[in-house]
């Protein structure tokens, strides 16, 4: 169990658990918390893997804003990289870095 009260996100975590971690750790910059920023990035990445890009339900089409979650994830990783207490050995890679490397 993590300090935020949430269980570490795993492949069996539900979307509701992942979304709760995104919300609970979204104030990483306001609280100046490297730990929360890392949890936020992890939750965003898990959400991007698990969340469908679109869902049809009762003849209504719901479109999720995947691009916004990607941007929030990249912003959090940029914040981490620029934080004076963050060390390069912490191994944070942005989604943009992954895309440009072909991974």
Task: List the pLDDT tens digit at each of the 103 positions of the chain.
Answer: 344 455 689 999 998 899 999 999 999 999 999 999 999 999 999 999 988 765 655 455 555 688 999 999 999 999 999 999 987 655 555 455 555 555 5
Give the DSSP per-residue string, 57-102.
Answer: ETTEEEE--HHHHHHHHHHHHHHHHH-TT--GGG----HHHHHHHT
DSSP-derived letter for residue 55 is E
Residue 8 confidence (pLDDT) = 82
């Amino acid at each position: 169990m993590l300090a935020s009260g949430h269980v570490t996100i795993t492949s069996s975590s539900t979307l509701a658990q992942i979304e709760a971690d995104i919300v609970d750790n979204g104030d990483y910059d306001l609280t100046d918390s490297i730990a929360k920023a890392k949890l936020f990035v992890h939750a965003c990445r898990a959400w991007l893997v698990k969340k469908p890009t679109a869902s049809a339900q009762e003849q209504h089409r719901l479109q999720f804003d995947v691009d916004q979650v990607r941007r929030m994830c990249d912003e959090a990783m940029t914040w981490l990289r620029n934080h004076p207490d963050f060390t390069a050995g912490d191994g944070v890679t942005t989604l943009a870095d992954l895309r440009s490397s072909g991974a």
